[in-house]
Amino acid sequence: MVETQPDLMRLPWVFLGKPLHRDYIPDSMEKTALLFAGQGAQFVGMGKELYDQSPAARALFNEADQALGVKLTDVCFTGPADKLTDTSWCQPAIFTHSLAALAAIREKMPDFQFQAAAGLSLGEWSALTAAGWIKFSDAVKTVRLRGQLMQEACLQTKGGMASVMGMDAGKLKTVCDEAGIDMANLNCPGQIVVSGTKEGIDKAMALAKERGAKRAIPLAVAGAYHSRLMQSAAEKLRPEIAGLAIQPSNIAVISNVTAAPHEAGALKEQLVRQITSSVRWEDSMRALLAQGFRSFIELGPGEVLAGLLKRIDREARVISAGKPADLAKLAIN
């Protein structure tokens, strides 16, 4: 893992929607970053309360159905679970739920502002859409295709993933190289997910345990996400990403690939690379913390990102907001 922090000092950080010079940060300013959930957080019934109680969230779910030409809402609300778990469905489902939660917040608090965003894997698409870089209807269609292509790659390659705990990233990288697999998610101190062929995963888990890892546990996933085995999905998605309309925003979005803010000229290539590259989540969070962010809101199903952030910095304030009842928490944040 790279020890140095990304240089965010050139960013046009914003306060209440206006550019803020980096050297002028009032003591009273509360810099807020949004965090967006990745694949694996889905559950049957996700988003139903938002749909029922928030007209803004309902409109977004309906827009997703219209853009995709399928009833994504039915899969979110009633499943079945095996269908929702399928990558081609769960990615647009989590994406839409995450943005619907933000729509509900904006509906309840019209003056709500945030100054940066980040998302874990799939969640990076949610972050870019929330920050205005990509139009929702364009993004949800691309996310659906991303899920379909990744599901296809899973079926073709028969890979797997494992979580390794209590091992230094440098030592684990050596293990992965020997096993012919990749480090997929550098989540937080002491937790790294590796990805590759099932034979490679078995070898890496054995080597990691021999060399001091506290635990190495295989994960129940469809394939080897964020590894070289996803290369076919990346290349097939490239033309779709190339055709996306990008609108640069003054709200920074942290790239999974670089753990630094996206720049418009490199955005599309990084979204292609993201499918096979490591997700540098710990570095991404440390980059935001280094810029003075202490207030975080996790949007979408689940509370995984809140847990990871607390393992990175116990002093960070984080709220998970995926249901209408969660919005009340924001009033005291």
Kindly list the structural domains of the chain, giving each domain's residue range(s) and its CATH number in brackets, ordered by start. Answer: 31-155+227-330 (3.40.366.10), 159-218 (3.30.70.250)
- pLDDT, averaged across the chain: 90
Q: Give the confidence band of 213 by pLDDT, cuts at 50, 70, 90.
A: very high
Query: Tokens in use for 154?
Result: 């899973």
pLDDT number for residue 110 = 92
pLDDT number for residue 28 = 38
pLDDT digits (tens, 9 = 90+) for 168-178: 999 999 999 99
The count of other CB atoms within 10 Å of the CB of residue 325 is: 10
pLDDT number for residue 329 = 77
Question: How much of the chain, in percent, has pLDDT values that exceed 70?
Answer: 90
Evaluate if residue 25 carries a pLDDT over 60.
no
Mean pLDDT of 116-129: 98
pLDDT digits (tens, 9 = 90+) for 275-286: 999 999 999 999
pLDDT digits (tens, 9 = 90+) for 130-151: 999 999 999 999 999 999 999 9
Specify whether the CB–CB gap between 166 and 190 falls below 8 A.
yes
Across-strand partners of 149?
A: none
Evaluate if residue 12 carries a pLDDT over 80.
no
pTM of the model: 0.90
Evaluate if residue 21 carries a pLDDT over 70.
no
pLDDT number for residue 144 = 98
Alpha helices (H) along the chain: 48-53, 55-68, 72-78, 81-85, 87-108, 123-130, 136-157, 169-179, 198-210, 231-242, 264-273, 281-290, 304-312, 327-330
pLDDT number for residue 158 = 87
The count of other CB atoms within 10 Å of the CB of residue 203 is: 18
Question: How much of the chain, in percent, has pLDDT values that exceed 90?
Answer: 86
Which residues are tagged catalytic? 121, 226
Evaluate if residue 155 carries a pLDDT over 50.
yes
Mean pLDDT of 251-274: 97
Instruction: Tell me the one-letter amino acid at 243.
Output: G
Looking at mean pLDDT, say which of 19-23, 39-43, 103-107 comes out highest. 103-107
Q: Give the confidence band of 91 by pLDDT, cuts at 50, 70, 90.
A: very high
pLDDT digits (tens, 9 = 90+) for 287-308: 999 999 999 999 999 899 999 9
pLDDT number for residue 331 = 61
pLDDT digits (tens, 9 = 90+) for 177-206: 999 999 999 999 999 999 999 999 999 999
pLDDT digits (tens, 9 = 90+) for 220-230: 899 999 999 99
pLDDT number for residue 185 = 97
Give the C-alpha separation, 299 to 296, whole Å.
10
Evaluate if residue 63 carries a pLDDT over 90.
yes
Give the C-alpha separation, 58 to 269, whole Å.
33
Mean pLDDT of 246-272: 96
pLDDT digits (tens, 9 = 90+) for 310-322: 999 999 999 999 9
pLDDT number for residue 29 = 56
Query: Tokens in use for 120?
Result: 């874990």
